[in-house]
Each structure stands twice: as C-alpha cells, then as structure tokens.
Amino acid sequence: MDASTADRLIESTRELLWERGYTGTSPKAIQLRAGAGQGSMYHHFSGKADLAQAAIRRTADEMRAKAEAQFAAPGPALDRVTAYLRRERDVLKGCPIGGLTQDPEIMADPALREPVEQTLAWLRGRLAEVLQEGRAAGELSESLEPGATAATIVATLQGGYVLARAAGSPEPFDRAVDGVLGLLAAHSTSVQS
C-alpha cells in the first residue's frame, strides 16, 4: 500500500470524474482503472467522497499552477492574459474544474464543492490582479475595471467550453476568446500600428 497506489487511485478518479461525473464514477471503476484492490482504496481513503475530494483538489492545484505560469511570466499584462487564454486546452472535454459545477452531487456536498468554488474565485482574483498591474503600468486604460473584467473573462471561458461541446467543435470557444481579447485590446493604451 504505497504512495503510488494512492496516486493511481487519485489519477483514476480525476479521469473518471471528468469523463463520467461523480454519480457515474463507482468505487469499482476507480479500482479497475487504477489497478488497485478494494483494500488498497480503503487503506488510503475513507471512501469515494474522500477520494473524489483528493482528486478535485489535485485538479484544482494543477489548474492554478498552469494559469500562474502565464500570469507570473514577464511581459505586459495583456500579453500574459493572452497567453493564458490561448494556451492549449482540450476544449471539447470541457473545463476539468468548471465542468464539475454541472454535477449536482458535487455541488450539494460542501467538501467537494469547496475546491471548485475556491479555484474559480482564485482565477477571477488572479486575473483581476494581472489586469490591475496593467492599469498601474499604464498599459491598460483606467476605464477598465479589473474585477468585473476578470469575472467576464472567466464567464466567457466557461461559456466557451459549453458552446464548443454543444457544437462538437472548438471553434465557438476560439471565437469567444477572440471576442474577449478584442474587448481587452480596446482598453490597451499601446499605440496600434
């Protein structure tokens, strides 16, 4: 019962939650995908909810780390936001965190909902900080409201995932990103050539 078994169980749960949702993710399916027995699962975790919470937290931590890599990079704020918005994503699978909000069982359980809620709040807050940095550096106009704009960016991304999945094509997501970048560009103070 080593750490690698626990890791395989968490990774398998992450995959299954994204593919099937909480209800469709049975302990047996987790064990089969992880190549672990029932005893191993219950040695490391108290049950499905405990394992799901560990999986959601790992997904949230990973999502934050990927976003932070773009937000903390050198360069103008708009370039950093653009890098975040244009980074490679598996659009047709949806957002691994935002998609969990569609799962009634996860949203009904405060312990499972908490990392989802915290991650989306962190994303809005971190985007607002980057936009504020752009304003302070004179890169973005004072008329841009960082908090509201950050909320708009996150809502656009999440809606873009939904539209792409409905269309069976990443094109609606890409157009949504183009649209939000166009709105941000209108607040840029750099001279357009």
Q: Supply the pLDDT for residue 2.
A: 57
Question: φ, ψ for residue 188 (rounded to 5)?
Answer: -75, 140
Q: Supply the pLDDT for residue 37.
A: 86
Per-residue pLDDT of the chain (193 residues; tens, 9 = 90+): 456 999 999 999 999 998 888 998 999 999 999 999 888 888 889 989 999 999 999 999 999 999 999 999 999 999 999 999 999 999 999 999 999 999 999 999 999 999 999 999 999 999 999 999 999 999 999 999 999 999 999 999 999 999 999 999 999 999 999 999 999 999 999 754 3
Question: What is the secondary structure of 155-192 as a DSSP string?
Answer: HHHHHHHHHHHHHTSSHHHHHHHHHHHHHHHTTB-SPP
Q: Supply the pLDDT for residue 42.
A: 87
Q: Supply the pLDDT for residue 1.
A: 43
Q: Supply the pLDDT for residue 3.
A: 61
Q: Supply the pLDDT for residue 190.
A: 79
Q: Supply the pLDDT for residue 18.
A: 86
Q: CA 61 to CA 74: how far, in whole Å? A: 22
DSSP at 97: T
Q: Supply the pLDDT for residue 193.
A: 38
**So where are the chain's domains?**
56-185
Angle at CA of residue 71, ends 69 and 75, nearest 5°: 105
Return the CATH class of domain 56-185.
mainly alpha
Per the CB < 8 A criterion, the answer to whether 159 and 150 are in contact is: no
